[in-house]
Structure 1
Amino acid sequence: MASKFVLKTASDGQFHFNLHAGNGEIILSSEQYKAKPSALDGVESVRKNSQRDGAFEVKAAASGKFHFVLKATNGQVIGQSQLYTSEAGAQAGTESVKKSAPEATLQDDT
């Protein structure tokens, strides 16, 4: 299975997307967007920024687990990961996004 972005409508009418790896697991989740075109712009921003040096930031959570965020050039967070048990796991997650995002298809479930 190829990687894909899945665009959805939230219960409040806003839009968001998840990036799924080839194995189907969600490797990145977006913020909420008020308009569908903005969410689609977010997908393109992930494609572009995932290839940029310094775009990912791995962070420790209060629980002792780790996650990463993907930031646009203006510093705004455009996506974040699930929690990982180790910093190395979160770092591997960033590599998965770098590999998957550029060629991922778009599935519109709105």
Structure 2
Amino acid sequence: MAGKFVIGKRSNGDFQFNLKAGNGQVILTSQGYSDKAGCRNGIESVKKNSPDDARYERKASSNGKPYFNLLAANGQVIGSSEMYESTASRDNGIASVKANAPDAAVVDETA
């Protein structure tokens, strides 16, 4: 099963997207967007930037858990991962975004 972008709404009314792997697990979550057009532009940016390994910022949270951000060409964060238990798991998450994002369908759950 292929990955997909799911557009939803946050409790504050902002739009956001989640990139889900074929198994349904969320592998990337966006920031909040005030309008749906901005959210769709964010999805296009993920599709464009996800194949480029240099666009991934590998980080660790304050409690030491690894995670990553996907950056646009201008350095802005366009999506963030969950917290992982190991750097190997984080790197698998990056590989999953690279594999799923470029051709993922978009499902709008706000329509």
Matches within 5 A, 1:1-110: 1-110=1-110
Structure 1 segments (4+ residues) deviating >2 Å = none
> Equivalents in 2 of 1:82, 1:105: separation in Å?
21
The one-letter code of the counterpart of 1:37 is: A
> Equivalents in 1 of 2:17, 2:96: separation in Å?
17
> Equivalents in 2 of 1:19, 1:101: separation in Å?
7
Deviations 1:62-100 (A, max 9, x none): 212100000001000000000001111111111100000
Matched positions, count: 110
> Equivalents in 2 of 1:12, 1:83: separation in Å?
23
When normalised by structure 2's length, the TM-score is: 0.95
The one-letter code of the counterpart of 1:33 is: Y
When normalised by structure 1's length, the TM-score is: 0.96
> Equivalents in 2 of 1:13, 1:60: separation in Å?
29
Q: Which runs of 5+ in 2 are unaligned?
A: none
Q: Which runs of 5+ in 1 are unaligned?
A: none
Q: Aligned-pair distance for 1:53? A: 3.5
Q: Aligned-pair distance for 1:52? A: 2.0
